[in-house]
Amino acid sequence: MAGTVGGALALGNRVVIAAGDHSDDADVRTYFDARFPRSLQLAGLLPDPGVVAAVGGDPSFLMAQVNDATARRRGLRLQGVTTESVPFCLEQLVRDLPGVRIVSRRIDQDLFEWSINLPLKARTP
């Protein structure tokens, strides 16, 4: 699946696609930090990036995505190249979900590549 980054790129440095703008059909959501051009470039290289969007200062909307996917028993992969507060907050928010763990690695002083998989369960047709 090709990354749908066109809408984000068109807005340049003011890129933000709010949580509500994401496609309901997407199984993969990829985030970058618009302050770092390298972040978008690297995020686009992540496997099967799906919907690509900028993440702003407040990562709590990611939990809504996790809750939504859990409620709908849908598989979901969240991934990104961002500053560390995003994966850190996400890691704490999913702490109690069995078997769900975040994987992250540092890329440079500021950026971390991370991903989290919600296991697929009885996917809704």
Partner 1 sequence: MKQILPPGISATDFAEALQALRKIVGDDFVYTGEALAGYADPYSIVADDDTHAASAAVAPASTGQVQAVVRVASQYGVPLWPVSCGKNYAYGGASPRMAGTVVLDLKRMNRILEVSESDGYALVEPGVSYFDLYNHITSKGYKLWLDVPDPGWGSVIGNALEHGVGYTPYGDHFAMQCGMEVVLANGELVRTGMGALPNGNTWQLFKYGFGPYLDGIFTQSNFGIVTKMGIWLMPEPPGYRPYMISFQREEDLEQVVDILRPLKVGSVIQNAATIRSLLLVAAVNATRSQYTDKPGPLPDSTLRKIMADQDIGMWNIYGALYGPPPVMDTLWTVIRDSFAKVPGAKFYFVEDRKRENDLLISRADTMRGIPRLSEFSFVNWTGGGGHIGFSPVSPIRGSEAMKQYTMVRDRMHEYGFDYMSIFAIGWRELHHVVELLFDRRDPKIKHQADVLFRQLVRDAAAAGYGEYRTHLSYMDDIAATYSWNDHALMKLNQTIKDALDPKGILAPGKQGIWPARYRGSPK
Give the footprint of partner 1 on this chain (CB under 8 A): 14, 16, 34-35, 56-60, 83-85, 88-89, 92-93, 95-96, 106, 108-110
Helices 60-71 and 85-93, axial angle in degrees (round to 10):
40
Q: Which is nearer to partner 1, 26 or 100 (CB)?
A: 100
Q: Smallest distance from the beta carbon of 53 to partner 1, in angstroms? A: 13
Rounded CA gap, 22 and 45, in Å? Answer: 19
Residue 114 Cβ, how far from partner 1 at the closest point, in Å?
13
Rounded CA separation 87/93 (Å): 10
In contact, 75 and 40? CB cutoff 8 Å: no
Q: How far is the CB of 33 from partner 1 (least distance, A)?
A: 9
Pick 79 or 83: Cβ nearer partner 1: 83
Three-state secondary structure readout of 57-87: CCCHHHHHHHHHHHHCCCCEEEEEEECCHHH
Nearest residue (CB) to partner 1, 24 versus 105? 105
Closest separation in Å from C-beta 7 to partner 1: 16
Q: Which is nearer to partner 1, 26 or 89 (CB)?
A: 89
Using alpha carbons, select from 63, 60, 56, 121 the residue that is nearest to residue 82. 56
